[in-house]
Structure 1
């Protein structure tokens, strides 16, 4: 038995170890649109389970080494396939056969040493193909890409093994628009290799040595943009370029990226560029210039060119402080209209150079070292005579007033960008060029705007500052950019009558109204998202009642979120809803007040109809009676009877009854309210005290009695004694017959007493009345 248990335990342990040792199976996540993401999942092969619903498949950054015959068999609707950064070294001939709808294929950074046309023969819909970073040495088969008639973008080559380009490598690509070739180690170039690319718009060549420059340029009949990257031009020599006069070399834009240039290679490079017709834009980006700037192009007669736009970004000059003033290239710059020199440590443009820039209309000196002192010399008299746009973004300017004064010589200046400088403050007045139409002061830390801003502006950008308000009168302003400040409300429309565009996002605005928007009569674009909106009923009603609001609010509705009330926090203003009780509080209060008033009137009416006030008084009287002692001490009894009667029956009581009882033998002492109530004392207290100080309570009943409220009080007080003390303290005298149905409902106790107690009736007519008085005296004595 023990051995069997040990065996079972050992088997269980082995199974557990085996289960723990199994590798984790990667998973592929797909959404409802058929986009499958399998990036960085450690796949070793194309995952199974792919269906016809898969439209996009990303398997980048895995360990796939082989694409087989049936791996993609079901992906008949696949349009995007990304296999970059895997270990693919083999692809089956018909691996892509089911992918007739494929448009985008990326096989870059794999281990493909040979390229085969059989891969592409079924990919007639392919428009993008990336084969960069694979270790093949040549394109391989002639007309490799001919099965791809609709290909528009192609990227081929690598920086280490790719050594040869030959004629026919790019044949059969009539619609190719963009071609990138990484051929840093190119050793053989067959003339005509790029000659078949007739409709090419953009060409990117990664060439380290300019050995085959002349051959390459000779093949390029017409290219819209040519970019040469990672090129060492330090020892470049131009040996001549044969140009077909009927098909001259045409390149509109030429870019040198991450290139190295020297004083010695400058003139040969100009010779090459002079053979390019229609060259209008020249760019140097992340380049290095080794030398001192001793260029002498005029000696070669190289002053003719058509370049209108010159862009220099992040150029590094090794001997910067020994560099010359570039007088030798002044003549080359006279026709240039647009110059951009960014992030290149420029602190001064010599006045003589500025005067030679006669055609310059656009100058961008962003991210340099310009200060007011040197700007004054750069913008000297007759310098930059045609300049219309000047960009001095992110330099070292400190004073708006001095900057404006330095630019007064620029009579044609209309657009000025001095953003991201550290001005912080603004003077009350400034002098600007007369034609100023656009001013950018964004990100300059200013906290207040003054009349220093020129009133002639059409465009003003003061975004990303510390402004709390905007109160300038700018009658011609059409565009105002004031995002990223601390404004709490929209500007006053009366001071901006011509405003067309207002961007005021990321401020402290919490609401805006229909009246505010309507006050901007010409406003076409409003961007006010990113504020802390209080979703009041007025704002919600306004935004929800105007579906056409999205035509003005360009960032509506996703950027408009509720900040309060708390239960709406984070919701879009468009989707927020508030209850009727929140939105119509005044109407609700008025309705409640009206309802209460009607209820009060109804209550008063009901009380009047059902004698409610009388019952309230009786309740109070009852409480008062309960507060009194139930039985007064014998020494406090002052009267034989308290007489309760109606004022209408006073003659009978005061003339007949009083004479008969108080003058009899023995005499009875009666308590009458007219005679015995204490003056100034509350009448209810007088009634209660008089009843308690009397041995009997005598009620003189008549129709007048039942109509009297005070008689009812007196009846109830005596009723308390009658039932609380269980004695015969009440005597009823009927002056006239009373029908029980004629007695009001509130005299229910009187009805009950008349049904349970014996009462005396006053004889009517000439009937003898001595018996009545005798019976009354007997009742009082009992």
Structure 2
């Protein structure tokens, strides 16, 4: 019997890297199986060592015959750490069987999928050891999370929870109170307002939370969000992008020390007074900033791309800055002093600005070229906007000859010089003639 086990294992492994007639599609670390194509156990074994297994498009109960195999085949285990159900109907009965084959899975994803057969309380201990659950475009999402809690031995075991684009207005208290060990929460793409956030951030909840994503929600009061999140002392990564914080008040004082603070695409027009002082990665891209005020001593990466800046911010206010993005603004000129402040950077992206390639700018071209090794978008992003004669010309292709830059002055000097020489010659000729 053991030799038969070994022969089957060797046979499946030999198939892994060969092109065989499998109904599942292997793409590097991901294996995708269409449910409606009568997947067999052998098809699943073709995905044995993939890190991600996707079962898509259909009712997973159709796969039960593939799992109803002899005890010999139950010696095989799939190596996946992530299981994804896409546009699928997933039953309690299937998960009871399937968990024996995915003993290493820790991440469960339901993408446009539904759960069935969870109406009654589950007495059997399925225990799939999941520490991460993601629901994408799933209706009645939190009732489904409660159903799934029995699969993982309770919500207290969860480290990461994502409920994305699922019409969530808040998180029920009975769920918030159970997520005591949660490290990351993503509620992006939901019609969640400040009141909804305040409702589920209860005292004693989310004490271990380090990452919170509230992107593309219905948030408008930045001050209320700041006050609501004050109790999350361990919060390190906060993503608030694609909300509408048109005029944030300056009375907010963040107590946390952030690694990442993302306020891109939030319509902000100024930055004074409400940004956290302790932050390493700050994303303010795609806003309406005309100036950048304040001092951020710890910021290492700063993204100011696609704003309305007309000049380079003073980098003296960011002594530890190493990575800067200022592309897509209205900066027309970079002076010698401004360029000198960029030499300490390790990465710079400054293309897509309205550069005015006048004589003063051309004189700085050599200093600009010294930064080429740091520029991610050189040379294609650095194009002259004016004067009209150079519009669309790459800065690297601009002639820096003395004649081209000072043509008018040189012509005047030539005319004056020529006139002077002619005058001298006329005087000399006149004196020679009068002596005779």
TM-score interval, smaller chain: 0.7 to 0.9
**Which one has a bigger Cα radius of gyration?**
1
Measured in 2, the distance between the counterparts of 1:179 and 1:426 equals 59
- Look up the SS of the partner of 1:228 in the other structure: strand
Distance 2:120 2:362 in 1: 68
Residue 508 in structure 1 maps to residue 330 in structure 2: yes
Q: Please list every run of 5 or more consecutive structure 1 residues that lacks an aligned counterpart in the other structure.
A: 1-168, 184-196, 612-743, 747-782
Question: How far apart are the structure 2 equivalents of 1:171 and 1:348?
Answer: 47
CA distance in 1, matches of 2:348, 2:61: 53
Asked if the contact 1:178–1:201 (Cα under 8 Å) also holds between the matched residues in 2, the reply is no
Corresponding residue for residue 6 of structure 2: none
CA gap of 1:504–1:201, structure 2 versus 1, over 3 A, is closer
Q: Which has the higher contact order (CA 8 A, sep 6+)?
A: 2
Q: Pick from 293, 301, 309: which aligns with 2:125?
A: 301
Match of 1:375 among 197, 204, 208: 197
* Equivalent-residue separation in structure 1 for 2:404 and 2:371 (angstroms): 24
In the alignment, is residue 454 of structure 1 matched against residue 280 of structure 2?
A: no
Q: CA deviation at 1:367?
A: 0.6
Does 1:204 find its partner at 2:32? yes
Q: Which residue of 1 aligns with 2:104?
A: 278
**Counterparts in 2 of 1:173 and 1:380: CA distance versus 1, 3 Å:** same
Counterpart of 2:134?
A: 311
> What is the rounded CA distance, in whole Å, between the counterparts of 1:274 and 1:347 in structure 2?
36
Q: Counterpart in 2 of 1:181? A: 23
Q: CA deviation at 1:546?
A: 5.7
Deviation at 1:316, TM superposition (A): 3.7
The alpha-carbon deviation at position 259 of structure 1 amounts to 0.5
Confirm whether residue 232 of structure 1 aligns to residue 59 of structure 2: yes
Q: What SS does structure 2 have at the residue aligned with 1:516?
A: helix
Give matches, 1:295-374, under 5 Å.
296-297=121-122, 299-302=123-126, 304-317=127-140, 323=143, 326=146, 329=149, 331-374=153-196
1:158-169 correspondence to structure 2 within 5 Å: none
Distance 1:745 1:547, change over 3 A: closer
Give matches, 1:334-483, under 5 Å: 334-483=156-305
The equivalent residue for 2:8 is none
Q: Equivalents in 2 of 1:295, 1:594: separation in Å?
A: 101
Check whether the contact 2:30–2:51 (CA below 8 A) recurs between aligned residues.
Answer: yes
Distance, in Å, in 1 between the alignment partners of 2:62 and 2:22 is 25
Q: Work out whether residues 24 and 47 of structure 2, in 8 Å CA contact, stay in contact via their aligned partners in 1.
A: no
Between the two proteins, the alignment pairs up a number of residues equal to: 424
In the superposition, the TM-score normalised over structure 2's length comes to: 0.83
Distance 2:130 2:149 in 1: 13
TM-score by length of 1: 0.48
User: 1:542 pairs with 351, 354, 364, which one?
Assistant: 364
Find the aligned partners of 1:345 and 1:375 in 2 and give their Cα distance.
14
User: Does the CA-based 8 Å contact 1:401-1:431 persist in structure 2?
Assistant: no
Q: How does 1:602-751 map to 2 (within 5 A)?
A: 602=424, 606=428, 609=431
Q: Which residue is equivalent to 2:95?
A: 269
Change (3 A) 1:393 1:538: same
Once residues 267 and 255 of structure 2 are traced to their aligned partners in structure 1, the CA distance between those partners, rounded to angstroms, is: 23
Q: Distance in 2 between matches of 1:282 and 1:505?
A: 38
Q: Which runs of 5+ in 2 are unaligned?
A: 1-10
CA contact (8 A) 1:471 1:492 kept: no
The RMSD of aligned alpha carbons is 3.8
Distance in 1 (alpha carbons) for counterparts of 2:22 and 2:340: 53
Which segment drifts farther, 376-385 or 489-498? Answer: 376-385
Contact persistence 1:307–1:336 (CA under 8 A): yes
- Rounded to whole Å, the distance in 1 between the matches of 2:299 and 2:30 is 40
Q: What does 1:47-86 align with in structure 2 at a 5 Å threshold?
A: none
Alignment of 1:252 onto 2:76: no
171-180 vs 277-286, which moves further: 171-180
User: Larger deviation: 235-244 or 338-347?
Assistant: 235-244
Q: 2:49 & 2:204 partners in 1: Cα distance?
A: 39
CA distance in 2 between counterparts of 1:589 and 1:451 reads 54
| 1:253-297 alpha-carbon deviations (Å, 9 max, x no partner) | 211111123xxx235414522542211222221223468x64634
SS of alignment partner, residue 558 of structure 1: coil
The 3-state SS of whatever aligns with 2:154 is: helix
- The alpha-carbon distance between structure 1 residues 589 and 437, as it changes in their structure 2 partners (threshold 3 A), is farther
Distance 1:594 1:359, change over 3 A: farther
Deviation digits for residues 127-181 of structure 1, max 9, x if unmatched? Answer: xxxxxxxxxxxxxxxxxxxxxxxxxxxxxxxxxxxxxxxxxx9997552499862
Give how far 1:344 is off. 0.9
In structure 2, relative to structure 1, the CA distance for the partners of 1:308 and 1:180 (3 Å cut) is farther
